[in-house]
Amino acid sequence: MEKEGQNAPQYPEVFGELAEKALEARARSYAPYSGFTVGAAVLAGDGRIYTGCNIENASYPAGICAERTAVFKAVSEGARSVAAIAIAGGPAWKKAVSPCPPCGICRQVLREFCASPEKLAVILPESDDEGRVTSLRLFTLEDLLPESFGPGSL
């Protein structure tokens, strides 16, 4: 991944690893209806990484997003907090990805399992035509879901 100039943002090494794993997970997507493939990689609070891809179904509501697949895998393995997530998506016929932010339902699921919305890193990689990560866009969940409803709201 290229970094431009002396003042280019410096990300923790794990952000690059998550971006790569999200791209790898995207290759396992099952999206015969939309043709839009997505992969996600979640960094659990304990340091373990879980991946997921979107899985479509002929009965459209029965499908699941990559982000929720990864989070639910983490939770099913005992993780109870998410520290970061990378999401890579785009048309199946292109290796390149542009920033692919999570949908509203996925944002709410991330909110449920993050220690704090202002600390959960949401990493949106961009890649070239060969599928190599070229840059990362970084947000917090708070950026993407301000004034969120969470466990403390009950």
Four-point Cα dihedral 128, 100, 44, 112, nearest 10: 180
Superfamily classification of domain 13-145: Cytidine Deaminase, domain 2 (3.40.140.10)
Q: Where are the domains of the chain?
A: 13-145
Is the pLDDT at 33 greater than 90, yes or no? Answer: yes
Could you tell me the pLDDT band of residue 115, with boundaries at 50, 70 and 90? confident
Catalytic site includes residue 67: yes
Catalytic member of 67, 77, 112, 142: 67
In this prediction the pTM is: 0.91
pLDDT tens-digit map of 1-14: 443 444 444 568 89
Task: Report the distance separating Cα 134 and Cα 8, nearest Å.
Answer: 13
Answer for the pair 95, 127: CB distance below 8 angstroms, yes or no: yes
Predicted local confidence at residue 82, as pLDDT:
96
pLDDT tens-digit map of 125-148: 999 999 899 999 999 999 999 999
